Amino acid sequence: MKLLLRQIEVSLEYDQNDVFKAIIRKLGCGSSQIINHEIVRRSLDSRPGRSAPAFVLTVEVQMAPDFAPTAKLPRDTEVMPAEPGEPDNNVAVKLSTGGQRPVVVGAGPAGLMAAYHLAAMGARPLLIERGSRAEDRRETVDGFWRNGSFDPENNVLFGEGGAGLFSDGKLTARSKDRPRIRQFFQTLVESGAPADILIDAEPHLGSDILLRIVPEMRRRIESAGGEIRYNTALTDIIVENNAIAGIKAGDHEIQTSRLILATGHSARDVYRLLGNRNATLQAKPFAVGVRLEIPQKQINQAQYGKFAGHPRLGAASFKLTRRPEGAAKACYSFCMCPGGLVIACASENGALTTNGMSYSQRGSIFGNAAFIVPVEPEDYAGFAGPESHPELAGLNFQLAIEKAAFAAGGGGFMVPALMFQDFIYGKVSKSLPAERSCPRSQAASFDDILPDFVTATLRAAMPKMLRELNGITPASAILYAAETRSSSPVRVVRDENGESPAISGLFPAGEGAGYAGGIVSSAVDGLKAAEQVLTRQDKH
């Protein structure tokens, strides 16, 4: 018999023997009746009312045959159903290697996971990526951060690993698709991620670990028969009789009837290409705002009190929200990076956005998070411009903010920055602290960058939000502008089979499709797209 025990509480200093003892206490059984146990989930409970933070575990326990449970099992305990037999790999159905290969465009989380699954199933996918391999891309990005040297095809947002390669590597998602999430996490572990991501409630990797995982995923795709072409941008989609017939990548034409489009939310040229090819597009809500940087010690103290600095707690995070109030819209924190850095990002010359990233140890003395305000399609309807695709007005709205940020920073991709209190009172800071995570930044007015409704909301909401973190000193906080790429302002519509209703064989996936947000949901969406491609090919 196998049991699932939830709400097993152990101290920060726990070891496996402590877990074993807690199981015995909960079940009221002898130690000989437990064959083995495995932690399947671990979360931290550090709510203010507790005397000390503690880990809360969910554990699978294999019981001995002589274990006889009482008529009523303890609370938060259940009998697990018998596991199905192992699949017979000798009769597993795999896609024929004949015929046209499926093509995946974009090597971010969605595209990599789609190609990984297609290759594992024998489909020999072709994956094309406009940027470079992760290792080469890293050198280019370092140069951009040092001196502002910019490559429009290979940068913080474009290249193998996608925008997520230079991020905190958070592996959290609101998706309920547990089997596919598990499959993605197993793929990461097989590719070099620490096994703890399989049990932690809020796992993260860090950019240094991602820079090791992505090349291993590449190696596995290629060893399973897939092909990857770098520095190869999609330039056209060939549509015949309302169906995909192929793509153009530079001067090369590639025939395919199955195309997974996983180009991310920053490939504005792809959205315009889709509009020109009559794909069904929709304007959608997104959010814009600023990125706040605070000393990490203050965040740790606010969240952990006297336990701040405990080696098993690490750098603390936070999530803050504020409902609409008066003329102010809603506001919420997003993409919090404990022990992280604020970074400059760009996907085109003369336009600048910001983001946060961290390494696996989250060792920076600063923490940062975006504070963003929802933007509805009606807020940017006036940015439709003369083009024939009003669904793309959000792209123009984003771009206008990013051009203003570039100009306010003085060019050269210097990030506009302000002391928090100066922003609140509408001032431009006379100076910025010498010690800050983004040294290529300079003081500038955010009123020249962000729409009035965004700045008004941030000024009304942020002081109240920060008061929820006891011990935060507003005078030490720095703001950077502007955060614009929280999600896509465009949705590439698809049907229940994952295809574009206007272009048969086109499978939009990931953040660029407008159906995902973050590494996990994007990868899961890419995996699902690969499954749908295989199913459709099997039917034909």
Question: CATH code at 239?
Answer: 3.50.50.60
The strand pairing partners of 281, in sequence order, are: 492
Q: Which domain holds residue 517?
A: 101-280+491-539
Secondary structure of 72-134 as H, E, C letters:
CCCCCEEECCCCCCCCCHHHCCCCCCCCCCCEEECCCHHHHHHHHHHHHCCCCCEEECCCCCH
| Contact indicator for 390, 283 with CB cutoff of 8 Å | yes
In a domain, 402, yes or no: yes
Tell me the C-alpha distance between 56 and 95, whole Å. 43
Element spanning 528, H or E:
helix 519-539
Tell me the C-alpha distance between 473 and 466, whole Å. 9
Domain check: are 464 and 508 in the same one?
no
In a domain, 458, yes or no: yes
Assign residue 70 the CATH number of its domain: 3.30.70.2700
Q: Give whole-number Cα distances, 481 to 59, 153, 370, 406, 492, in Å.
A: 44, 23, 10, 10, 28
| Contact indicator for 500, 279 with CB cutoff of 8 Å | yes
Q: Taking Cα atoms as reference points, which of 182, 5, 156 lies closest to residue 79? A: 5
In a domain, 368, yes or no: yes
Tell me the C-alpha distance between 494 and 214, whole Å. 28
In a domain, 95, yes or no: no
Domain check: are 222 and 359 in the same one?
no
List the structure tokens of 383: 């940015």
Identify the pLDDT of residue 434. 96
Phi, psi of 223 (to 5 degrees): -70, -20
Identify the pLDDT of residue 85. 53
In a domain, 334, yes or no: yes
Domain check: are 115 and 147 in the same one?
yes
Q: Taking the CA of residue 198 as centre, how many other CA atoms within 13 Å lie in the half-sphere pointing to its CB? A: 16
Domain check: are 135 and 273 in the same one?
yes
| Contact indicator for 284, 516 with CB cutoff of 8 Å | no
Domain check: are 155 and 300 in the same one?
no
Identify the pLDDT of residue 84. 62
In a domain, 88, yes or no: no
Domain check: are 214 and 259 in the same one?
yes
In a domain, 85, yes or no: no
Tell me the C-alpha distance between 512 and 514, whole Å. 5
Domain check: are 169 and 193 in the same one?
yes
Identify the pLDDT of residue 60. 96
In a domain, 146, yes or no: yes
Domain check: are 168 and 259 in the same one?
yes
Tell me the C-alpha distance between 370 and 219, whole Å. 34
pLDDT truncated to tens, each residue of the chain (540 aa)? 899 999 999 999 999 999 999 999 999 889 999 999 999 999 999 988 889 999 999 999 999 998 887 668 899 999 988 766 544 433 333 444 346 899 999 999 999 999 999 999 999 999 999 999 999 999 999 999 999 999 999 999 999 999 999 999 999 877 788 899 999 999 999 999 999 999 999 999 999 999 999 999 999 999 999 999 999 999 999 999 999 999 999 789 999 999 999 999 999 999 999 999 999 999 999 999 999 999 999 999 999 999 999 999 999 999 999 999 999 999 999 999 999 999 999 999 999 999 999 999 999 999 999 999 999 999 999 998 776 789 999 999 999 999 999 999 999 999 999 999 999 999 999 999 999 999 999 999 999 999 999 999 999 999 999 999 988 999 999 999 999 999 999 999 999 999 999 999 999 999 999 999 999 999 999 999 999 999 986 554
Tell me the C-alpha distance between 342 and 479, whole Å. 10
Identify the pLDDT of residue 86. 47
Identify the pLDDT of residue 66. 87
| Contact indicator for 94, 119 with CB cutoff of 8 Å | no
Domain check: are 303 and 444 in the same one?
yes
Tell me the C-alpha distance between 265 and 512, whole Å. 4
| Contact indicator for 483, 372 with CB cutoff of 8 Å | yes
Domain check: are 308 and 455 in the same one?
yes
Tell me the C-alpha distance between 388 and 462, whole Å. 38
Q: Give whole-number Cα distances, 10 to 57, 58, 514, in Å.
A: 8, 11, 40
Identify the pLDDT of residue 537. 61
- State how many domains the chain has: 3
Give pTM, 2 decimals: 0.93
**First and final CA of the chain: distance in angstroms?**
44
| Domain C-terminal end among 437, 452, 483 | 483
Domain check: are 172 and 197 in the same one?
yes
Domain check: are 382 and 420 in the same one?
yes
| 2-10/506-508 β-pairing | unpaired
Identify the pLDDT of residue 99. 66
Q: What is the DSSP letter of 333?
A: E
